Amino acid sequence: MRTLRGMRARIRAAKSIQQITRAMKLVSAARLRRAQDRVLGARPYAQRMHEMMQELGRAGDLPDHPLLRKREPNRVAFVLATSDRGLCGSYNMNLIRATQNAIRDMGLSQEQVQLLCIGRRGYQFFSKRGFTIALYRPMPTSGAGIDDARALTDKVREMFETEQVDRVYLVYSQFINPVTQRPVVLPLLPIEPPRGEETPTKYDFIFEPSAPELLAQLLPRYLLTQVLQALLEASASEHGARMTAMTMASDNAGKMIQELTLVMNRLRQAAITKEIAEVVGGAEALKG
């Protein structure tokens, strides 16, 4: 049965929750601005590297390089970038589901898959289900940097070049805007020069320095750029998702407070009416 005391307690609890969600929203908004600036600042360089690799693909067959070697995908690694904390809506589950769908679509068994988890949520989910975790690193609260990307790139290169895995995929959330984040499963290794919408015409290139020397410098940098850009996108996406989730939570708490206040006022009016009726009834009884 609803009582005035119980309704007041529920209203106080809702107000406390609203204060917390508002504070988290403000913190996420501040972090999002910084993360968004880093993403937008890094995109031109990543796009130029993409275009350079696309042009390089027009040279036809490239010299042999460890990062270009194709093998049968018997062992596959997934680099999964999630968050360390929750309260960000369906952000983490969308990435985990994208990884599960990719594993299923490729027809891989659990024994054929290794995971490199950036962020505690993805690590907890897959480790509890018996998957091999080749690497775990927390997602920095302030956002991943070049050192995080370099450490991850070195581990991925080592696994691929020593043939521990035959292919590597990068799973992260692409930042569109604070409300929209899109899960992406990107082939990372072996490196394949990206192709445009139409089949590119092959050109005769003169390499200076030589093609092997150029690839030795360009391919590792291209790999590092892809990993860094993915981590920056993931950080911005996380803060955008959390800000959106906390905005909705604050709005819902406000609606709940209004509804509870309305119910409490009705209960109070009913109690006052009952007391007045009892007073009037008692007065009438004394007159009689």
Per-residue pLDDT in tens (0 to 9) along the chain, 288 residues: 578 888 888 888 888 888 998 998 898 888 888 888 888 888 888 888 887 777 776 666 667 778 888 888 889 999 999 998 888 888 999 999 999 999 999 998 999 999 999 999 999 999 999 899 999 999 887 778 888 899 999 999 999 999 899 999 999 999 988 888 999 999 998 888 666 555 455 556 676 777 777 777 888 898 999 999 999 999 999 999 999 999 998 889 888 888 888 888 888 888 788 778 777 777 777 775
Give pTM, 2 decimals: 0.83
| Domains identified in the chain, total number | 1
What is the biggest distance separating any 2 CA atoms in the chain, rounded to whole angstroms?
Answer: 117
Q: Which of 24, 80, 88, 231 is the catalytic position?
A: 88
In terms of Cβ atoms closer than 10 Å to its own Cβ (0-12, 13-18, 19+), residue 227 is buried
Q: Identify whether 157 is part of a domain.
A: yes
Q: Identify whether 274 is part of a domain.
A: no
Cis before 193? omega within 30: no
Q: Is 204 helix (H, G, I), strand (E, B) or coil?
A: coil
Give the length of the chain. Answer: 288
State the CATH number of the domain containing residue 66: 3.40.1380.10
In terms of Cβ atoms closer than 10 Å to its own Cβ (0-12, 13-18, 19+), residue 14 is buried
Query: Is-catalytic flag, 88?
Result: yes
Domain span at 208: 25-244
Q: Identify whether 235 is part of a domain.
A: yes
Q: Identify whether 218 is part of a domain.
A: yes
